[in-house]
Amino acid sequence: MNKIKVLVVDDSAFMRKAIETMLAGETDIEIIGYGKNGIEAVDMAASLKPDVITLDVEMPKMDGITALELIMKHSPVPVIMVSSLTQEGADTTLKALDKGAVDFIPKEKSYGSVGILKISNELKTKVRRFAGDKAILHRLKPLSSAHTAAVPRPSAPSKRVSSSTHKKIVALGTSTGGPQSLQRVIPMLPAELGVPVVVVQHMPPSFTQSLAARLNSLSKVNVVEAQGGETLKPNCVYIAKGGKQMTVKRVGSTASIVISEEDPKLLHNPSVDIMVDSVAESFGSDALGVIMTGMGNDGTKGLKKLRDRGGFVISQDEPSCIVYGMPRAVVEAGIADEIVTLDDIASRIAFHVK
């Protein structure tokens, strides 16, 4: 079996060693080279032809964003950014995702054995997933100009008639590929959508704040990072805070957001399942659920409950997903009422809430 060839680029010898440690002992993965700056990254990408590159953002001689642009132009390959857990790191990471990076892993200022173990499984999973997907670069290319997407096309009629003519809330979940893909959905929502939208995107703290600010600058609706205690308002999108759980609580005709501490037993903080479950409890048949690109199956349980209570479920289709994991789980569970392309999701949301 051919091994997955990984190129590691980071100006920190400590971080290069940390990534080596994370991938050590994997019989199907081989690190074929180490770079210390963006110039070396570009040269080694061309000469070594890796299957995946891990790329630091801040490096001497040439930074990671410039290197990424040159790699995607001359030697396109899946690139995973290694990002610091700071506001500046979050902003730069979102820019890198716009430029063609497939995903990112968090970079701690100091790694102990616990810190390495925390993200080693995530890194190995992503390396394997992206190296084995030959079509992923083609799906990423149009996402680099996400906010200039064309007006959404109408979708095919739904498989199931919605039990409530006018949905009163939208619950949307996404993960890997979500930051890029959300820029193809949220900016296309009409200014007078008429309902609130609650979103879970799997991201660490500070990253969700940057994502909300970025989407808000591109959108006609108001986009904010949820702080907790807000009364849900129409025409507003609430992004779950990274590292926390977000739920919706309804009392009478008023619904509000509750932010709680992360649960160490859960894989995802925030969790799509937990958020959607609360929406199903509070809104039942008045809820519209949407699942988009991402690894794993987070969201399936929550959306099943939402649908069982009369809600309606939209799933992104496989060809337009950067990773067809979470939508696949929903489709295979038989709870997707509509399966539509990424560029149709905004128009279908607008249709179901009008």
Catalytic residue numbers read 175, 202, 298
CA 141 to chain CA centroid, Å, is 16
What count of other Cβ atoms lies within 10 Å of the Cβ of residue 191? 9
Contact residues for 160 (Cβ-Cβ < 8 A; gap 6+): 312, 337
Q: Is 52 exposed, middle or buried (0-12, 13-18, 19+ CB in 10 A)?
A: buried
Asked if 128 contacts 1 with a C-beta cutoff of 8 angstroms, the reply is no
Cα maximum dimension of the chain: 64
d(CA 201, CA 85) in angstroms, rounded, equals: 16
Q: Side by side, which strands form the sheet with 236-239?
A: 222-225, 236-239, 197-201, 169-174, 287-291, 312-316, 338-340
Q: The tokens of 288 are what? A: 């519209």
Nearest to 198 by CA among 177, 182, 181, 180: 182
Dihedral angle, C-alpha 300, 145, 75, 316, nearest 10 °: 20
Q: What secondary structure does DSSP assign to 112-146, as a single string? A: -HHHHHHHHHHHHHHHHHHHT-TTHHHHHGGGGGG
Helix (H, G, I), strand (E, B) or coil at 289: strand
Q: What are phi and psi of 54, to 5 degrees?
A: -100, 130
d(CA 37, CA 102) in angstroms, rounded, equals: 20
Asked if 93 contacts 81 with a C-beta cutoff of 8 angstroms, the reply is yes
